[in-house]
Amino acid sequence: MTRGFSRLRLSAAALLCAGMLAASADAQLVGHAPNLGPRLTQAQVTSGALSLLDLRREGRRIFTTPFNKLDGHGEAYDPTNPDHTSFGNRPTLQNNGTFLRVNGLDAQTCLECHGIVSNSTIPATLGIGGVGGMNTSPMFMTRNIDVDDSANNGFAAFDGRLINPPFLFGAAGVEALGKEMTADLQALKMQAMLNPGTVIPLITKGVNFGFISYDGANFDTTGVVGIEPDLVVRPFGRKGENFTTRDFDRGAMQFHMGMQPVEIFDLQGLPTNTDGDGDGVVNELTIGEMSVLHLFANLQKKPEIIPQPGAFEGFITFMAMGCGDCHKPVLVTDSNDHNFSYPDVGTDPSANIYATVDLRQAPMNFLDMPGAGVAVFLFADLKRHDMGAGLMESFGSPLDAQFTTARLWGIADTAPYLHDGRATTLSEAILAHGGEALAARNSFAGLAPGQKLNVLAMLRSLRTPVSPNTNLGPPLLNVNN
């Protein structure tokens, strides 16, 4: 969730003032300590002293620690700075100093929103890394909410984006695909540069991102579709904003909790001890802590296919209707290796690698493809599409109606559906498709009841992993709230 949040507030007066506030708060909080501990450095992560299981367990700790004031939860507020939407300067609810809820500062821990493995059981099956229900859906960049319909137009006005939390399962496969596709596209861009005046089609793994050309001085990227003109595939975020989960996590930490990873300063060449959000705490998360969080998110089980009766017939219909043009059932990696980098560079997926894991190994267990890497049955193309006026947002951006194709793996267990969770059933989700998906949507609407049941049986065969993190053992420590 980094869009619109690139600017750091670093006003000297506010830093001084916030520093004093934090110091006085500290003095009163006798008997309390930061909840995050012991701290972990990148040198420890890369030392080889910790096993992959240890590193994942450490990552689970970062993902599940409820951060408190002493950890650096929250941020200062500077009334003289007119921008109250950016990290480090958001107002809080009735000036309560901790939470706002309608533009972040909406949680203490990642787990709060990513804690449901299946919503198709009663009671729901809980687990780390899963989806969230409606009451955990963040409200992003909301400026106006007309809940009592004072405009008298029959609906509660709400600008910004309401976003229902997806799961993190199988993220390694998705991230590996995205990086390989980026590498392919960057190579095609180089090909365009070496052949001025030639139009180069941008196709990778069967996904068509339009075309590019070079006139000897500049690239013409007006033909690029479904991604940004920098030709970086960004599978994460509903709008295709982030190239790795780590890239996503940097924003998530700040947006939800006002926790600022050191690397956001490091990547901008600012000193390590920068207190960017003015809350009196520095080094809120180290580079090593973000690395284990990345490893934890990526080294989870992947969703599974458990075929239901009628699913095969439903799959044939699904493909015939054109659903599979966007929801591509499978994409295959070239390599079995998945790399972890820091600093991570969007346009150069092979830069600064510090760890490599085999996608075929547990707990991921991706299917080995002879002569290639692994098969990822994600049911998506990692590309943005215009979904029509019905799903459109109100930012006034050309991307308002565009969304990255939802990955349908695990869909049986993840209601409610669509980016804002408006669909409580699969059929509502399909019928809400418009824009580029209108023809496919109409085909589904026109199916005979028996055929519809088969399509639903196919979708209900796409399950989340059972017990995704059980091998990581019991809780590690207690905190003093």
At 222, the amino acid letter reads T
Q: Distances in Å between the alpha carbon of 131 and those of 119, 377, 409, 419?
A: 9, 19, 13, 12
Residues 174 and 332: their CA atoms lie apart, in Å, by: 10
Q: In this structure, are residues 383 and 209 in contact, taking their beta carbons and an 8 Å threshold? A: yes
Question: Judged by CB, which is closer to ligand HEC: 44, or 103?
Answer: 103
Residues that bind ligand HEC (CB under 6 A): 1, 63, 106-107, 110, 112-114, 132, 136-138, 163-166, 168, 236-238, 245, 248-249, 252-253, 256, 293, 297, 318, 321-323, 325-327, 385, 387, 391, 403, 405-406, 408, 411, 414, 417-419, 426, 429-430, 433, 436-437, 440-441, 444, 459
Q: Is residue 403 within 8 Å of residue 384, measured between CB atoms?
A: yes
Decide if 432 contacts 423 (C-beta within 8 A).
yes
Provide the minimum distance between the beta carbon of 256 and ligand HEC in the complex, in angstroms, as a whole number.
Answer: 4
Shortest gap between Cβ of 445 and ligand HEC (angstroms)?
A: 9
Distance from C-alpha of 207 to C-alpha of 195, rounded to nearest angstrom: 23
CA separation for the pair 369, 390 (Å, rounded): 40
By beta-carbon proximity to ligand HEC, the closer residue of 214 and 366 is 366
Taking the complex as a whole, the smallest distance from the CB of residue 96 to ligand HEC amounts, in Å, to 17
Rank residues 192 and 437 by Cβ distance to ligand HEC and give the closer one: 437
Cα separation, 277 vs 52, whole angstroms: 33
Per-residue tokens: 416 = 């409610």
- Quote the least distance from Cβ 467 to ligand HEC, whole Å: 20
Question: Residue 430 contacts by C-beta under 8 Å, 6 or more apart in sequence?
Answer: 441, 444
- Closest contact distance (angstroms) between CB of 248 and ligand HEC is 4
Q: Which is nearer to ligand HEC, 254 or 339 (CB)?
A: 254
Taking the complex as a whole, the smallest distance from the CB of residue 233 to ligand HEC amounts, in Å, to: 13
| Cβ contact 136:278 at 8 Å | no
For ligand HEC, the closer of residues 61 and 189 by Cβ is 61
Tell which phi-psi region holds residue 388, choosing left (phi > 0), alpha (psi between -120 and 50) or beta.
Answer: left
CB of residue 458 vs ligand HEC: minimum separation in angstroms? Answer: 8
Indicate the residue among 14 and 295 with the shorter CB distance to ligand HEC: 295
CB atoms within 10 A of CB 304: 18
| Minimum distance, C-beta of residue 289 to ligand HEC, in the bound complex (Å) | 11
The residue (of 181 and 440) whose beta carbon lies closer to ligand HEC is: 440
Query: Of the two residues 254 and 274, which places its CB atom closer to ligand HEC in the complex?
Result: 254
Interatomic CA distance for residues 417 and 167, integer angstroms: 12
Contact 453, 400 (CB under 8 A): no
* Nearest approach, Cβ of residue 194 and ligand HEC (Å): 33
Pick the closer one to ligand HEC by CB: 15 or 113: 113
Radius of gyration (Cα) for the chain, nearest Å?
Answer: 23
The token pair at 395 is 């930012």
